[in-house]
Structure 1
Amino acid sequence: MAPKVLISDKLSAAAVQIFKDRGIEVDFQPDLGKDKDKLAEVIGNYDGLAIRSATKVTEKILEKATNLKVIGRAGIGVDNVDKEAASKKGVIVMNTPFGNMITTAEHAIAMMFAVARQIPEASASTHAGKWEKSKFMGVELTGKTLGVIGAGNIGGIVCDRARGLKMKVVAYDPFLSHEKAEKMGVEKVDELDDLLQRADFITLHVPLTEQTKNILSKENLAKTKKGVRIINCARGGLVDEAALAELLKSGHVAGAAFDVFSEEPATENPLFNLPNVVCTPHLGAATTEAQENVALQVAEQMSNYLLDGAVENALNMPSMTAEEAKIMGPWVALAGHLGSFIGQMTDEPIKAINILYDGVVAEMNLAALNCAVIAGIMKKVNPDVNMVSAPVVAQERGVQISTTNQSKSGAFDGYIKVTVVTEKRERSIAGTCFSDGKPRFIQIKGINIDAEVGEHMLYTTNKDVPGVIGTLGSTIGTNGANIANFTLGRSAAGGEAIALLYLDDAASPELVKQLEATGVFEQVKPLAFDVA
């Protein structure tokens, strides 16, 4: 029986035809996604669901999706899909991460031109029959310094286009190496303050994470060069819009161009109706070419999975064959956890990632395992990264990847060891999978441990002296936190010691501060792992 796919948003006729040509039964209802009750009523009839942004795939919808195997999002953002619920349901979530990069980058460049020459205001004035030539005095881009915050896929294209405009480009991206920046022809700065003080224009190209939220805060905006112009075509929430509005009114900031806002749809905003502020309604990916590209890509990817079992650009499953998935599942999870640990522990640019596979795991699909490790590491800077796009993200940042496989060499049937190299240090962690399929951490920084991986964990380091465990336990207890599992290790008596705790809930900032205030611990780091 042929697979059946529902398209509940507007996709091109060419995308619909791809499904048909591949022998897949397709039901094209482009307005159905707006009716969540009707969607819930019919979703159980389909093997695949192709969407854009209008359809909201909630846990309630997924509960009714008794036959659903794959969701394909034509575009990069999947905020409208409950990925955790989909994973629990066994539904693969795919996106098309590279289809709208050029379009979004071009929009940022267009917005920069628009605010530099006050084009929207000048156009409105001229349409109104005014001829205010002297009112709209602009600035050239040539010779100006462009500060790019985030030099990944889209930011890298913006850097290239800006260099073509004869601008001096300064990039701030903790995961961009100096070597890669040199090849791009841009100057990498290690401190955001350096970029803020030098840039004539600032453009943002980072995802919205805990680290990047309000990256242009009131304090950081105050550090900018007088007369700066700010462009945000990335994500709402990266800029303190109220603080920016005040600086625009005072004249410290000469202009701003925003395609994204902290609340969308944006019917009101502090930036609205201010002079020399250009606003567009989230049009970054809104070109005919981009919309066509992502529609065709998602149709091909979904067809490949439904007919051949091939997994491409999946956010919640590795790229591998169905046969491999049965055997490799626990090891893929382990690889992701090892990468996540390293990523959460590393703040400086990563120069190299070295992965060692030992024993039984050395005979598996190492490409998929490599992707899981790299994705785990890179998720700290880009939550949208998946196992397919992760190597590309690493390559763009000049990260060297090396893999070694060897025969069984220790007490375990197999294990994975991940080492990252930065300009300052090397950091390593190893893990294995027991017969129950549960991943375990077995070594950190060369110190042997045996730690179950939990959703909420706490990592500490200290000198091996008496009383540390008591201080750790009592401080955690007085903060109302409960320890599910507690693992200790040390390099030698009186040497370096580590503890890895599995907590029922995330360690609060107050708990972390209190542990640091004891003066006992050299490092206190809360960690989070996706163990769904």
Structure 2
Amino acid sequence: MVKIVISEFMDEGAAASLEDRFEVIFDSGLVEDRRALLAAVAEADAIIVRNRTQVDAELLAAAPHLKVVGRLGVGLDNIDLAACEARGVTVKPAHGGNGSSVAEYVLTGALMLRRRAYFASQAMQSGEWPRQALIGREVAGSTLGLVGFGAIARETARRALALDMRVAAFDPHLAADAPEWAGVNRHENLDALVASADVVSLHVPLTEATHHLIDAAALARMKSDAVLINAARGGIVDEVALAVVLRQGRLAGAMLDVFEQEPLPAGSALVGVPNLILTPHIAGVTEESNARISQMTADNVRAVLMHQKTTEEQV
């Protein structure tokens, strides 16, 4: 029987929908146990992963029957695409499944960081009343600067415009005359964007070119009352440099959902940094988006396996 291994959390209903035609091994603990994972994929025709399972040469070698990798999300930096292509393994991300979730996360961060009032909890619990110290700013009339202007960034822009924000973006991969730029101030370089924005939000994949794209120099160009939000990929922001500017008060705040190492290692530069909100790679995961992405991925994997079966029967 065709076998599917699911190594990370997934909507249970979507996973169960595969059981009518396939043998399904659903164990979200496999991502934590590499040896058990490699053993589980030995007879697998498909594997479904999120962002933590490393689909690399070692795993591909351990899974000689593998035909498809279903990705519960869109980021592919944990999947060796070249090795998959060389092996004839199809990679199927769930495009469009979590755009609204990430967009809401970014705007939540913008509202919280601009307003500043969320910093009051500890002081309030200590009997203080820091009202004047925590007078913040509105997002209406401020500029949201989007680094990258793909589908999720455009979803974020649409919602930001409804909040009366101005929206600017930088994306060298999107043609200057593309219709997607309507209503958005297109910047030709990153430096100009980060220097003019009140809220900078990152929407690019992690590549050699984007690693530490937001480094000490980029952070120095940002306004001192600006805020930074990263719900894209860890490694795009130089975490040490960010910690320095926040400690020095040269940036109003930041909200990070992704990190160079996940979970955060002991002694991370981000520990104890003021005006910083940290969340555990959850921006794109809500009850609704998890159900959407899980069903999309189940459908994607099913389609590949059924096509493969049909092809083999015709040979």
Q: Same fold (TM over 0.5)?
A: yes
| TM bin (shorter chain) | 0.7 to 0.9
Which of 95, 112, 115 aligns to 2:113? It is 115
Residue pair 1:120, 1:278 contacting (<8 A) in 2 also: no
1:5 and 1:236 map into 2 onto residues whose CA distance is: 29
Which of 131, 137, 154 aligns to 1:139? It is 137
Secondary structure class of the residue paired with 1:230: strand
2:250 and 2:219 map into 1 onto residues whose CA distance is: 10
The residue that corresponds to 2:64 in the other structure is 66
The residue that corresponds to 1:77 in the other structure is 75
Please identify which structure carries the higher helix content.
2
User: Are 2:283 and 1:290 aligned?
Assistant: no
Q: Which runs of 5+ in 2 are unaligned?
A: none
Q: CA deviation at 1:296?
A: 0.8
* Pair 31,126 (structure 1): closer, same or farther in 2 beyond 3 Å: same
* Pair 309,125 (structure 1): closer, same or farther in 2 beyond 3 Å: farther
1:186 and 1:240 map into 2 onto residues whose CA distance is: 27
Q: CA deviation at 1:305?
A: 1.4
TM-score (norm 1): 0.54
1:145 and 1:18 map into 2 onto residues whose CA distance is: 44
Q: CA deviation at 1:156?
A: 1.0
* Pair 112,309 (structure 1): closer, same or farther in 2 beyond 3 Å: same
Secondary structure class of the residue paired with 1:296: helix
Q: How many residues align?
A: 312
Residue pair 2:216, 2:241 contacting (<8 A) in 1 also: yes
> What amino acid sits opposite 1:125 in the alignment?
A
CA distances 1:358-390 after superposition (whole Å, capped 9, x unpaired): xxxxxxxxxxxxxxxxxxxxxxxxxxxxxxxxx
2:47 and 2:180 map into 1 onto residues whose CA distance is: 43
Secondary structure class of the residue paired with 1:55: coil
Q: CA deviation at 1:292?
A: 1.5
The residue that corresponds to 1:204 in the other structure is 202
Residue pair 2:144, 2:201 contacting (<8 A) in 1 also: yes
Q: CA deviation at 1:128?
A: 4.8
CA distances 1:376-430 after superposition (whole Å, capped 9, x unpaired): xxxxxxxxxxxxxxxxxxxxxxxxxxxxxxxxxxxxxxxxxxxxxxxxxxxxxxx
Q: CA deviation at 1:181?
A: 6.1
Where do 1:259-274 residues align within 5 Å? 259-267=257-265, 268-274=267-273
The residue that corresponds to 2:303 in the other structure is 304
| Mean CA deviation greater in 268-277 or 223-232 | 268-277
2:237 and 2:36 map into 1 onto residues whose CA distance is: 38
The residue that corresponds to 2:228 in the other structure is 230
| Mean CA deviation greater in 49-58 or 9-18 | 49-58
CA distances 1:20-42 after superposition (whole Å, capped 9, x unpaired): 34x22323333234322223234
Residue pair 1:116, 1:140 contacting (<8 A) in 2 also: yes
The residue that corresponds to 1:527 in the other structure is none
Which of 35, 38, 52 aligns to 1:37? It is 35
Identity rate, percent = 36
Secondary structure class of the residue paired with 1:307: helix
Secondary structure class of the residue paired with 1:38: helix
| Mean CA deviation greater in 175-184 or 266-275 | 175-184
Q: Which runs of 5+ in 1 are unaligned?
A: 311-320, 327-532
Q: CA deviation at 1:166?
A: 0.5
User: Are 2:16 and 1:7 aligned?
Assistant: no
Secondary structure class of the residue paired with 1:19: coil
TM-score (norm 2): 0.87
Where do 1:403-482 residues align within 5 Å? none
CA distances 1:321-344 after superposition (whole Å, capped 9, x unpaired): 959xx9xxxxxxxxxxxxxxxxxx
Q: Which has the larger radius of gyration?
A: 1
Residue pair 2:117, 2:135 contacting (<8 A) in 1 also: no
1:262 and 1:44 map into 2 onto residues whose CA distance is: 30
Where do 1:328-339 residues align within 5 Å? none
Which of 218, 224, 243 aligns to 1:245? It is 243
Q: CA deviation at 1:143?
A: 0.8
CA distances 1:19-71 after superposition (whole Å, capped 9, x unpaired): 134x2232333323432222323423332222234433343332232322222
* Pair 46,211 (structure 1): closer, same or farther in 2 beyond 3 Å: closer
Q: CA deviation at 1:80?
A: 3.3
Q: CA deviation at 1:218?
A: 2.0
The residue that corresponds to 1:17 in the other structure is 16
Where do 1:342-381 residues align within 5 Å? none
Residue pair 2:47, 2:69 contacting (<8 A) in 1 also: yes
The residue that corresponds to 2:167 in the other structure is 169
Residue pair 2:4, 2:22 contacting (<8 A) in 1 also: yes
The residue that corresponds to 1:216 in the other structure is 214
The residue that corresponds to 2:190 in the other structure is 192
CA distances 1:167-222 after superposition (whole Å, capped 9, x unpaired): 11111112334443675311112132322332222111111223323222222322
1:83 and 1:191 map into 2 onto residues whose CA distance is: 29
Residue pair 1:49, 1:70 contacting (<8 A) in 2 also: yes
Residue pair 1:116, 1:139 contacting (<8 A) in 2 also: yes
Residue pair 2:117, 2:136 contacting (<8 A) in 1 also: no
> What amino acid sits opposite 1:273 in the alignment?
G
> What amino acid sits opposite 1:232 in the alignment?
N
Runs of 4 or more, structure 1, over 6 Å off, are none
1:145 and 1:78 map into 2 onto residues whose CA distance is: 30
Q: CA deviation at 1:259?
A: 1.6
Q: Which has the higher contact order (CA 8 A, sep 6+)?
A: 2
1:283 and 1:180 map into 2 onto residues whose CA distance is: 31
1:211 and 1:32 map into 2 onto residues whose CA distance is: 31
* Pair 87,182 (structure 1): closer, same or farther in 2 beyond 3 Å: closer
Residue pair 2:6, 2:26 contacting (<8 A) in 1 also: yes
Residue pair 1:235, 1:261 contacting (<8 A) in 2 also: yes
Secondary structure class of the residue paired with 1:132: coil
Secondary structure class of the residue paired with 1:244: helix
* Pair 300,216 (structure 1): closer, same or farther in 2 beyond 3 Å: same
RMSD in angstroms over aligned alpha carbons? 2.7
Q: CA deviation at 1:273?
A: 2.1
Q: CA deviation at 1:141?
A: 0.7
* Pair 131,284 (structure 1): closer, same or farther in 2 beyond 3 Å: same
